Structure 1
Amino acid sequence: MGEIWIREAERLGDGSIGGAMDTPSAPGRAVWHTTESGHGNASFTNVGKYLISIGAEPHILYDPSTDRLGQYGPLNQSARALRNDGLTRTNRTGRVCIQIEVLAKAATPFTGYWKPGPNFRALMRAIRSWGVPDTWPAGALAGSYGASVSRNRTTWATKGGHYGHCNIPGNDHWDPGKIDRAALFAAAPKTSTPAPSTPSTGSASTYTVKDGDTLSKIGEKTGVKWETIASLNGIKAPYTIRVGQVLKLKAASTTKPATKPTVSVAHLNSARAKDIPAATGHTTYPAEVKIVEAALKAEGLLDAKYAADGSWGTTTEAAYNAFRRKVGYTGSSATGAVGLESLKKLAARHSFTAKA
């Protein structure tokens, strides 16, 4: 199982955009689109809402100029950014079919001016977690509307990897344009190394099947008996595996995940009302304020010396307002009382839970 929700991404919409995949045994793939719009925070907000209003949500909205990343729905379900190919529901092809809308225009390839950062690397990490290879099975991308490119149905149905919207059968769009395909992978180099050829203590819990692998070879690489791998993954004779398949090497842990801390909007606003006018260092709900301060520090918006005092003073207030502007709030929406929506955005990026 790969990543379902990207922890670095902002949540967009209500989180429900599709359903189960039609061909979950087929390899995973990612599809790149362009919104044919401008970029920047205003475009992110406006286009993000527009895609919801017309029922054409992708999984991901990405701004190449700011590295801003939003997610509409779970990656293990379908999105709504592709037309069907006759009776074939192209949005539901493969183990996953991750749809990425980039705030850009096909005529001006975004890889010529983009500024990929940690959020782009997080996106690629999530795509790769589903075994999607760094390949382009359909080949070249379109350089103009009507350009001759592959929309081969067999390739689409059977080959995992990255596709342009222009490569999908049943679709006539030419996005994402002539982007530098290799640049996508170069901007997010793989950090993992191949499994060692000898057993090692504390080895990885999964293994992605590579070309030429057999269960026996995987057992030699990982130090896990091939019979154990087969049992853990429900593989029976004739012991068939496929390239890109992610195999479990260890039984799932029965340890319950740690509970995320909870921060209350009401408590933060009470702290604002009491701490700001009081003497420096006054605290009202220090435990919850410290959680927010740590998140603002991680965002690069709050100096470390103010990030652990638990007091919602003017410096913390300014840092929180800066975060709101960073994620697209403007005018009076970027100041004043803490709102549940903005706190949820911060919580999603820094592993705590926001409540009213």
Structure 2
Amino acid sequence: MSTGPQKYPGADTAHWYQNTFSSDAMETNVVVWHSTEGTTLPDYDGGSTAPNLTAVPDFKAQKLVWYQHFDIDRSSRALVNLTGGVETNTLNVVQVEIVGTCDPGIHKKWGSTAHLYMADLPAWVIRDLADFARWAHDNHGVPLTSGVSWKAYSASYGADNGVRMSSSHWESFRGHCGHQHVPENLHGDPGAFPMAAILAKAGANAVAVPAGSAGAVKPKVSLKNVVAAAKADPPVRQGKTSHPADVKPVEAALRKLGYLGAAYATDGAYGTTTVAAYAAYQRNLGYSGKDADGIPGATSLKKLAAASGLFTVTA
């Protein structure tokens, strides 16, 4: 069930809890962000309330030091999960705690003590969080999208904070959200989190709509040709590709919407990376199992064209 690397590169596993506490296998498609409301690595009650990873600031070196507690595709334990309701910890979410605070009162109280305040993260923290978001996208297909509003603490606290998802929204959600958005939970962290800046740094906005595109003639993409390329090309061998003129607009659209990295070449080859990106896009539409195979269908391709504004679809 699990695919892709399970350890974040460079993460310290000295505080490993997967062998102590039960966890479920899953296929990650959501990142849930938390703040610890402290200044040091928590012990998480011996690991019983631990996330998958914790990011600890090293102010001198201006970098985040990562600790991993569970594999990426194993459920962790930092969310409330009520009996009889929706699943939270086990619903394909990788959870990341950032050592710092989202509470402006605590931020003021800590004063000159070195700490991270979620509403005003320094550029080096945004850089390192973006690196993780990009890694989760490239290796596990987590979309570089959010689509939820991030409220400042303490307005973000409570069941009726105005941004907490309904059960159905939560079950269909893909991408990045915070503890404040998860149903059955009351927490308001990570407050006014700079998610847009993190995703932009990660490359979600690397492809802009071309100037004048609103009135421009958009390229026509043949569904038949794209499907043929998707089935023929992976893995692409010796640079030979199928129907590159039809595939390139699809690659550009996937990049614009955050499913392909900025470094990925728009080469018209529907290779394994494009298959994985399109599958992640399908899952974000609500497809699952064999329906999220990375092979375009008429409905999903037309939705991609409409969402990106970069092409139109023909038979």
TM-score, normalization: structure 2? 0.56
Of 145, 164, 170 in structure 1, the residue corresponding to residue 184 of structure 2 is 170
1:8 is paired with a residue of what secondary structure? Answer: coil
Letter in 2 for 1:90: T
Matched residue, 1:29: 30
Partner of 1:2: 4
Give 1:127 shift: 1.8
User: What secondary structure, in the 3-state scheme, does the structure 2 residue paired with 1:70 have?
Assistant: strand
Displacement of 1:122:
4.1
User: Is the contact between residue 6 and residue 122 of structure 1 (CA under 8 Å) also seen in structure 2?
Assistant: no
Aligned-partner residue type, residue 132 of structure 1: V
Aligned AA (2:202): A
1:134 aligns with 2:148: no
Identity %: 22
Larger mean CA deviation between 145-154 and 12-21 belongs to: 12-21
| Aligned residue in 1 for 2:170 | 156
1:241/1:32 CA distance change after superposition, 3 Å: closer
- Determine the C-alpha separation between the residues in 2 that align with 1:149 and 1:117: 23
| Shift, 1:190, TM fit | 6.3
1:181 aligns to 2:182 (yes or no): no
Structure 1 moving runs of 4+ over 6 Å: 190-193, 197-200
Cα distance in 2 for residues equivalent to 1:14 and 1:247:
34
* Partner secondary structure for residue 63 of structure 1: strand
Give the match for residue 89 of structure 1: 87
Among residues 67, 74, 82, which one is paired with 2:64 in the alignment? 67
Contact 1:142 1:166 in 2 (8 A): no
* Contact 2:75/2:89, CA 8 A, preserved across alignment: yes
**Residue 247 of structure 1, CA deviation:** 4.6
Relative to structure 1, the CA distance from residue 222 to residue 70 in structure 2 (aligned partners, 3 Å threshold; closer, same or farther) is same
2:99 is equivalent to residue 103 of structure 1: yes
Give the unaligned 5+ runs of structure 2: 105-116, 208-225, 242-249, 260-266, 286-291, 296-315
AA at the equivalent of 1:19: S
Give the equivalent residue in structure 1 for 2:120. Answer: 112
Q: Report the equivalent of 2:23.
A: 19
Q: CA RMSD in A?
A: 4.1
Confirm or deny: 8 A CA contact 1:86 1:170 kept in the other structure. Answer: no
**Equivalent position SS for 1:10:** coil
Aligned CA distance change for structure 1 residues 122 and 138 (closer, same or farther; 3 Å): closer
The 3 A distance-change label for structure 1 pair 127 and 85 is farther
**Residue type of the alignment partner of 2:53:** I
In the alignment, which residue of structure 2 is the partner of 1:324?
A: none
Q: How far apart in 2 are the matches of 1:156 and 1:91?
A: 12
Deviation (angstroms), 1:191: 11
**Cα separation, 1, equivalents of 2:37 and 2:201:** 23
Q: Specify which of 113, 121, 125 is matched with residue 134 of structure 2.
A: 125
* Secondary structure of residue in 2 paired with 1:67: strand
1:128-159 Cα deviation digits (max 9, x unpaired):
12111122243333531344323211111012
8 Å Cα contact 2:15-2:67 kept in structure 1: no
